[in-house]
Every structure is written in structure tokens, then in C-alpha cells.
Amino acid sequence: MSFVLVQVIVGGLLLGAVYALFSSGLTLVWGMMNIVNFAHGDFVMLGMYVAYVVYTLMGGGPLLGAPLATLVLATLGVVVYFALIRDIMKGPMLAQILGTFGLALLLRYSVFWWFGANFLSMPQNIVGGTFAVAGLRIEASRLLAGVVALLVTLGLHLLLTRTSLGSRMLAVAEDATAAQLMGIRPDTMQAIAWAIAAGATGLAGALIANFFYIVPTVGETLGIVAFVTVSLGGFGSVPGALVAGLLIGVIESLSGYLIGAIYKDIIVYVLFLFFLWFRPQGLMGKM
């Protein structure tokens, strides 16, 4: 295997980990309450702007941006849940789609109005630049995002499977009425799920901001990838999103390098559709 090919695969894995990172929140919300959050990409965007503001305007270090973005987005998640989601959940599917889509536009153009349409970028190399391992070039900011992706996935998985909070959340997801009879408040559990999902998404945004451009419409570009990752991994499955993210990252990189970038989406989506044909629930989703 040629040396460049190894670099391509390593790049693909890091890219995939990032895809997984910003998809985990989307899959969690789906798993908990069967809602497809079309504002997801714009949550990532908000995370990026929080990190940018913390770093450039408030003079906070790069390490402050990520936790702050998590906190801000988690709060926003709770607000969004009580102000919007709780009500549209009772409505038809179309209301959910349009409701979260409206939220996406509201967020996007609020940022647009406040920051303008200009592309922004974090100051260079605030997270260690690039280092070479055995000739392979690895960007510290991408590696950090990749490691955090693994930790977040593991954390969410443990939370859902090993803690009493997780059990209560899953109970609500399974049957809200029955859970309520057992003394669990569905409202609280779902609000917590939104806080966790939005917080993880904000964290993802803050980490991606270190190596991607920042612009109000960036959610459009990233949102689609998140949807594909989540449906390949299985709607609702957090580990599934990780595996799917890595898979898509590597396939994209390899096909982009070997065959040509304009064909890489064709290859990813053909494989994707082919796979769903055999396994419509996704890699790790439940039927």
C-alpha cells in the first residue's frame, strides 16, 4: 500500500470521527422521541460561533470555548424543548419537520443578522497545529475532535445503558405513559435528552471550528452529512453513528482520492442505498 494511501485512510478516519461527533446528538433525539431535528446542523453552527466569540472577542483560550459551547447549547436545547418540541411532538410528522426546519432558519438568520454573512476562521493553530507521526501528517485539532468523538460516544452509551438516569430516559422513550405511571416525568427526561443532545452538538461545533470555516450557512453543509451518518448507523443508535461516521469518512476519502472528488458522493450514496436495501434499520438500529 502506498504511503499516500495510508495518509488518505488516516485522514478519512479522522474525518469520520468528526462526522460521528456531530451526529450523536441527532441520533439521541431521534432515539428518545422519534423527532428528526432539522435544526441540527444549525446547532453545530451555533457551537462554532460560541467558540469563536469566546476565543476572539472574550479572550478566552481554545480550551474554554468547548465547555462553554456545550453549556450554552445544552441550555438552548432545554429552551427549545419547552418552547417548541414539547408541543409539536403531539402534532403530525409534518408539524415536526416544519417546526424544526423553521427553527433552523430562525437560528441561521439570527446569526446572519448579528455576525453578517462573512466567513470567519479561528486564529491559526490554536490547538497545536499539525504534527508528523512516521511521516503521516496529523492535525492536532482533528485528532482532538476524533478523541472527543470516541469519548462522547462511549459516555452517551454508558449513560443510556449503565445509569438509572439512562434507564429512565429509555423508559420514557419506550412508553411515556407507562413511565409516567412508574413515577418518571417524561417532560423532565425529554428535556434532559435535549440538553445532552444539544450540548454534545455544541461541543462538536466548538471542536470543528478549530479546522473548518465558520459561516451562518455552515449548518446546511454539515447537516446533510449528519443525516446520512445517523441513518446508516441506525436511527437512535449512538455507537451506530460512530461506526457509520468512520465508514463514511474512509469511503469518502478513498473514493475522493482514487476516483475523483466529484464521484465520491455517488459512491457513498450508492453504497448507502445498497446497504439500506438489506438492512433498512441501519447498522445498529432496532427494527
Partner 1 sequence: MTLKHISGLLCAAAMSFGLASGAQAQDKVVKIGAILPMSGGTASIGAHAKAALEVAMDIINNAHPELGNLPLAKNAGLAGLGGARIEVVFADNQGNPATGQNQALRLITEDKVAAVFGSYQSGVTLTSSAIAEKYGIPFLNSESVAANLTERGFKWFFRTTPIATDFAKIYTDFLADMKATGAKTDAIALVHDNTEYGTSVANTISTAFKDKGQPIALDVAYPVNATDVQGQVLQLKDKKPDVIIMISYTSDAILFAKTMQSLDYKPAILLADDAGYSDPSFIKAVGKISQGVFNRSSWAVGPSGSPSAIIADMYKKKSGEEMDDTVGRQMQGFFVLADAIDRAGSTDPAKIQAALKATDLKPEQLMMGYRGVKFDDKGQNVLASGLIIQLQDGENYVSVWPKANAEKAPMLPYRGW
Site for partner 1 in 218-247 (CB under 8 A): 220-222, 225
Site for partner 1 in 103-142 (CB under 8 A): 109, 112, 116-121, 124, 130, 137, 139, 142
Smallest gap from Cβ 151 to partner 1, in A, equals 22
Q: How far apart are CA 96 and CA 70, in angstroms?
A: 24
Q: Which residue has the cell 418540541?
A: 85
Which helix (H) or strand (E) segment holds residue 130: the answer is: strand 130-133
Which of 217, 207, 223 is closest to 55 using CA atoms?
A: 207
Residue 136 forms beta bridges with which residues? Answer: 133
Which range of residues in 86-94, 166-174, 237-245, 261-269 is near partner 1 by CB under 8 A? Answer: 261-269
Site for partner 1 in 55-94 (CB under 8 A): none
- 265 belongs to the binding site for partner 1 (CB under 8 A): yes
Instruction: Please tell me the total number of residues recorded for the chain in this structure.
Output: 287
Smallest gap from Cβ 95 to partner 1, in A, equals 24
Ramachandran angles phi, psi of 133, nearest 5°: -120, 115
Smallest gap from Cβ 5 to partner 1, in A, equals 9
Question: 150 CB contacts (<8 Å, ≥6 apart)?
Answer: 17, 242
Q: How far apart are CA 267 and CA 259, in angstroms?
A: 10
- 205 belongs to the binding site for partner 1 (CB under 8 A): no
Contact set with partner 1 (CB under 8 A): 4, 7-8, 11-12, 15, 109, 112, 116-121, 124, 130, 137, 139, 142, 211-213, 215-217, 220-222, 225, 252-257, 260-262, 264-265
